[in-house]
Structure 1
Amino acid sequence: MIELGAAALVLGVLLIVVEAHVPTAGVLAGIGALFVAAGVWLLITSSDTAQMIAIPAAVGVALVGVGLAAVSGRKALTARHAPVRTGLQSLVGSHATVRNWAGRQGQVEAAGSLWKAQTQFGDDETPAVGDAVVVEQIRGLTLTVRRREPWEIPQ
């Protein structure tokens, strides 16, 4: 019985460690917590200790482990749906400053770099040097921008 309890503990801990490296949204960690709880229960009941100690200890370990797995799973799912905050895609929605402009194309400064830019389709007003614009999309190395609305706060 002691060997089975130790094996359950090791398997539970192994599943929790694997959860840290595999995106299963807390499923493996929850199963691992249940294995750890079963291991604790088997180890306690295999000795001369009464089951009055084993059952509450195992239930406590299981509840804490499954609760932590649920919290980490929810955080993982939330992070999966969060917008990209690195690389080129982080420029979308950010503010830029017009450095020079002619017609529908020009240059803007965004994220500390100069970018080729064009206005959105249907935007008739030509931005002036120093105007604040908002990046709407990126195609290759060209930013598509629009005028910043008065209610938008610069980032």
Structure 2
Amino acid sequence: MATFGVVAVLLGLLLILVEAHTPTSGVLGGIAVLAIGAGVWMLFLSGGAGQVVAVPIALGVAGIGLGVTAVAGRKVVTSRRAPVRGGPQSLVGSHATVSSWSGPTGQVRADGGLWSARIEFGYPDDPVPAAGESVVVEGVHGLTLTVRRPEPWEVPL
């Protein structure tokens, strides 16, 4: 019985490692917790403890583990639905500062980097953005940002 208990606990730990590297939204984690609970129960019984001690301890281990697994699984599902917060697409809507401009294209500083940029809309034909002027990023197309003049309510303080 002790051998089966040790095998069940080790199987549960292995399943937790697999869950950590290939998230299954808590499915493998739940099975792992149940295996660990069963292994603890078998180990207590083989050690001479009666059912009065083994069952509450095994249920406590399994209950706490299933609770943690449920919370972690919910966080995984929630994070999959969240919008992108990193990468180039996170620049859309942010302010950039013009470094240089010539004709319809130029360079702007945004998010700590120097980007190629082109005018989306908001500038008449004559005045092009001046160096140091603030613009708003409208889109990201490869390595080129499309920018526009900020609206009066968008001007950074």
Instruction: Classify the TM-score, shorter chain.
Output: 0.7 to 0.9
CA separation in 2, counterparts of 1:151 and 1:33?
A: 54
Q: Select the residue among 119, 136, 139 that pairs with 2:138.
A: 136
| More moved, 86-95 vs 145-154 | 145-154
| More moved, 54-63 vs 67-76 | 67-76
The C-alpha deviation readout for 1:77-110, integer Å capped at 9, x for no partner, is 3333344444433433332112334554332111
Q: Tell me which residue corresponds to 1:16.
A: 16
Give, as a single letter, the amino acid of the residue that structure 2 aligns with 1:128: P
**Any stretches of 5+ residues in structure 2 without a counterpart?**
none
Q: Residue 27 and residue 136 in structure 1: after superposition, are their counterparts in 2 closer, same or farther (change >3 A)? A: farther
Q: Residue 66 and residue 147 in structure 1: after superposition, are their counterparts in 2 closer, same or farther (change >3 A)? A: farther
Following superposition, the deviation at residue 36 of structure 1 comes to 0.2
Following superposition, the deviation at residue 51 of structure 1 comes to 0.9
Q: How many residues of Structure 1 are paired with residues of Structure 2 in the alignment?
A: 152
Give, as a single letter, the amino acid of the residue that structure 1 aligns with 2:26: G
CA separation in 2, counterparts of 1:153 and 1:65?
A: 51
**Is 2:19 aligned against 1:30?**
no
Q: How high is the TM-score relative to the length of structure 1? A: 0.80
Give the match's secondary structure for 2:38. helix
**Any stretches of 5+ residues in structure 1 without a counterpart?**
none
Following superposition, the deviation at residue 6 of structure 1 comes to 1.4
Q: Residue 6 and residue 80 in structure 1: after superposition, are their counterparts in 2 closer, same or farther (change >3 A)? A: same
Give, as a single letter, the amino acid of the residue that structure 2 aligns with 1:39: G
Give, as a single letter, the amino acid of the residue that structure 1 aligns with 2:123: E
Q: Residue 153 and residue 50 in structure 1: after superposition, are their counterparts in 2 closer, same or farther (change >3 A)? A: farther
Q: Tell me which residue corresponds to 2:150.
A: 148
CA separation in 1, counterparts of 2:32 and 2:119?
A: 54
CA separation in 2, counterparts of 1:81 and 1:113?
A: 29
Give, as a single letter, the amino acid of the residue that structure 1 aligns with 2:54: A
Give, as a single letter, the amino acid of the residue that structure 2 aligns with 1:110: A
Identity %: 56
Pairs within 5 Å for 1:77-88: 77-88=77-88
CA separation in 2, counterparts of 1:54 and 1:29?
A: 22
Pairs within 5 Å for 1:41-52: 41-52=41-52
Q: How high is the TM-score relative to the length of structure 2? A: 0.80
**Is 2:106 aligned against 1:109?**
no
